Amino acid sequence: MSQFAINLLFVGASFALYIGIAIWARAGSTKDFYVAGGGVHPITNGMATAADWMSAASFISMAGLLASGGYANSTFLMGWTGGYVILAMLLAPYLRKFGKFTVPDFIGDRFYSNTARLVAIVCLIVASVTYVIGQMTGAGVAFSRFLEVSNTWGIWLAALIVFLYAVFGGMKGITYTQVAQYIVLIIAYTIPAVFIAFQLTGNPIPMFGMFSTHTESGIPLLAKLDDVVSALGFRDYTADVDNKLNMVLFTLSLMVGTAGLPHVIIRFFTVPKVADARWSAGWALVFIALLYLTAPAVGSMARLNLATTVYPEMAGQVENYEEAAQNPILYEERPDWVRTWEETGLITFNDLNNDGRIQMYNDAADYSDRGWEGNELTVNNDILVLANPEIANLPGWVIGLIAAGGIAAALSTAAGLLLAISSAISHDLIKTMINPKITEKGEMLAARISMGGAILLATYLGLNPPGFAAQTVALAFGIAGASLFPALMMGIFSTRMNSSGAVAGMLAGLICTLLYIFTYLGWFFVPDTNMLANTPDNWIFGISPLSFGAVGAMINFAVAFAVSRVTAAPPQEIQDLVESVRYPKGAGMAIDH
């Protein structure tokens, strides 16, 4: 059977499973459509949250970023897990006690203001759409490779499939589909990692293998990797970072963004009790950690494998790296996986010095003494995880499994986000604000139409993305963290916070963050409309646009605090409401109102 047929088989079988579950669990009422009827066990919910959470960015892109950035990109690991600590302690239990469908529901009711509700809807849509763009980018990479179509077709195919099951399934379908997707994606991620860790270090557990001895060279794997990459002019893999301020702020942005992203928060509305919301966050993190603890091993081992594929003499015990660098492989003798990825355009080769060999090194370094005239092999970060089994010569079924896993990751998150977007429009905007008398049918229809619209917009932007999947996603976190997280937290922890404060804070956080991002990445991400080049020299205090969410959140807190002190305190019944969300007692059935 050809690899193409195996890929089709695995991807097709996993789709049949998800669609089957979606049909079996078809949403009956609007309540089911949004929150799965409120009876989901914490472990089940944790698993579904993990699938919802681990998107194309985590599955496809993150290991690639770790591979290329080494220690510096640990921010993604800590940011996307540490947010759950804040979520479990500062938001989830209280929002569950409050017991409504959506994030704008809480903000609108807590701040007794439709303006606040509208601002929350806008923040939610901006953050979620940005996030979906990242998913589309990632799904496009996965589809284009495994179904052997162009990147553009890959993205359109992904859009069609997301549309089909998000629109017909709703939340209940999504909860159980996502449990299935979690299982598919974690198996797909772990199996190649176990094989590779065993090949390289003799230790089959990737998170330990990474810190073990590299069998072929006899020195620790990370030390070997440092030697190899520095021989090619790169920074050491484990090298410390100079700009610690940016690293701290970036990690913080990802953490508060995690806690502020609506599609994650609504998951905690579906557990039966307040205590379960806390446990559920813990379980979600356990399931997420299974992948996140493996990712750094995948990244470092893939980086080493890639380098030793190009420079076979660097694999074993090396006396002189200068000599080992002299004999990279001939382009004609490149492995098959390089050939197949070249077809997608995600690996490119350009023989600058016309010696027929592949020189892969840091373009910023000068190796004219070695007869090198520039880096000749460009490898897109996003392909590393997908290409990993091929790089390590694993059997065809592992490659098929990775294909199914990568696509599951992208689709599950896209579906969860689309649900958050559609509920914001149909429930918060139309039903609560514009036409309270709308029928259940009308509301469902509005939800489905807004999902369709969001998919089209995200697909368009996925075709013209502002960065790698994980980087685009990081922007979404900045936006959510700067706008929604502070409003939610102050709504719970400050009885004095009033509607003017919250609205002013959210707007200040959102606008400052967007302005900073657009300045460097172009207005509304349209290429070439940026006012300053996106380079560290231009960043204010060295803070990258990706890290600005943390600053935006601080601006949000400060503005909200100042405005609330000079305006009237919230009415007594709101202060009582805030008191009541603090105590689990009397939470009642999930979402029965």
Partner 1 sequence: MADDKTNAAEYWKANVRLIFGCLAVWAFVSYGCAILFRPLLAGIPVGGTDLGFWFAQQGSILTFIVLIFFYAWKMNKLDQKFGLGE
Point out which residues bind partner 1 (CB under 8 A): 66, 71, 74, 77-78, 81-82, 84-86, 88-90, 93, 207, 210-212, 219-224, 226, 238, 240-241, 244, 247-248, 251-252, 273-275, 278-279, 281-282, 285-286, 289, 292-293, 296, 579, 582-587
Q: Which is nearer to partner 1, 88 or 414 (CB)?
A: 88
Q: Shortest Cβ distance from residue 218 to partner 1 (Å)?
A: 12
**What distance lies between CA 439 and its chain's CA centroid?**
35
C-beta of residue 77 within 8 angstroms of C-beta of residue 66: yes
Rounded Cα distance, 420 and 45, in Å: 17
Q: Shortest Cβ distance from residue 591 to partner 1 (Å)?
A: 15
Q: Which is nearer to partner 1, 321 or 331 (CB)?
A: 321
Q: Shortest Cβ distance from residue 289 to partner 1 (Å)?
A: 5
Q: Which is nearer to partner 1, 221 or 454 (CB)?
A: 221
Q: Which is nearer to partner 1, 54 or 119 (CB)?
A: 54
Q: What is the DSSP string of 273-300?
A: SHHHHHHHHHHHHHHHHHHHTTHHHHHH
Q: Shortest Cβ distance from residue 122 to partner 1 (Å)?
A: 29
Q: Which is nearer to partner 1, 286 or 554 (CB)?
A: 286
- Name, in order, each residue with C-beta under 8 angstroms of 436's C-beta and a sequence gap of 6 or more: none
Q: Shortest Cβ distance from residue 284 to partner 1 (Å)?
A: 9
Q: Shortest Cβ distance from residue 142 to partner 1 (Å)?
A: 25
Q: Shortest Cβ distance from residue 49 to partner 1 (Å)?
A: 12
Bridge partners, 378 (sequence order): 348
Count Cβ atoms below 10 Å from residue 9 Cβ, excluding itself: 15
The tokens describing 593, both together, are 């109102």
Kindly tell me the burial class for residue 397, based on how many C-beta atoms sit within 10 Å of its own C-beta (0-12, 13-18, 19 or more).
Answer: middle
Q: Which is nearer to partner 1, 4 or 211 (CB)?
A: 211
Q: Shortest Cβ distance from residue 179 to partner 1 (Å)?
A: 20
Rounded Cα distance, 207 and 297, in Å: 6
Q: Which is nearer to partner 1, 81 or 144 (CB)?
A: 81
Rounded Cα distance, 486 and 330, in Å: 55
Q: Shortest Cβ distance from residue 90 to partner 1 (Å)?
A: 7
The tokens describing 9, both together, are 């088989």
C-beta of residue 419 within 8 angstroms of C-beta of residue 166: yes
Kindly tell me the burial class for residue 192, based on how many C-beta atoms sit within 10 Å of its own C-beta (0-12, 13-18, 19 or more).
Answer: buried
Alpha helices in 202-335 (DSSP H): 206-209, 221-231, 244-260, 262-265, 274-292, 295-310, 321-324
- Name, in order, each residue with C-beta under 8 angstroms of 4's C-beta and a sequence gap of 6 or more: 147, 148
Rounded Cα distance, 316 and 326, in Å: 15
Q: Which is nearer to partner 1, 102 or 251 (CB)?
A: 251
Alpha helices in 147-271 (DSSP H): 151-201, 206-209, 221-231, 244-260, 262-265
Rounded Cα distance, 100 and 109, in Å: 10
Q: Shortest Cβ distance from residue 545 to partner 1 (Å)?
A: 20
Q: Which is nearer to partner 1, 157 or 290 (CB)?
A: 290
Run of H or E including 576: helix 572-581
Q: Which is nearer to partner 1, 252 or 502 (CB)?
A: 252
Q: Shortest Cβ distance from residue 64 to partner 1 (Å)?
A: 15
Task: Enter the DSSP assignment of 93.
Answer: H
C-beta of residue 314 within 8 angstroms of C-beta of residue 223: no
Count Cβ atoms below 10 Å from residue 502 Cβ, excluding itself: 30
Task: Enter the DSSP assignment of 348.
Answer: E
Rounded Cα distance, 311 and 233, in Å: 14
Q: Shortest Cβ distance from residue 588 to partner 1 (Å)?
A: 9
Q: Which is nearer to partner 1, 14 or 251 (CB)?
A: 251
Count Cβ atoms below 10 Å from residue 329 Cβ, excluding itself: 18
Q: Which is nearer to partner 1, 157 or 275 (CB)?
A: 275
Residue owning tokens 């669990």: 25
Tell me the longest C-alpha to C-alpha distance in the chain: 79
Q: Which is nearer to partner 1, 60 or 222 (CB)?
A: 222
Q: Shortest Cβ distance from residue 270 to partner 1 (Å)?
A: 16
Q: Which is nearer to partner 1, 282 or 453 (CB)?
A: 282
C-beta of residue 548 within 8 angstroms of C-beta of residue 247: no
Amino acid letter, 463: L
Kindly tell me the burial class for residue 584, based on how many C-beta atoms sit within 10 Å of its own C-beta (0-12, 13-18, 19 or more).
Answer: middle
Q: Shortest Cβ distance from residue 84 to partner 1 (Å)?
A: 6
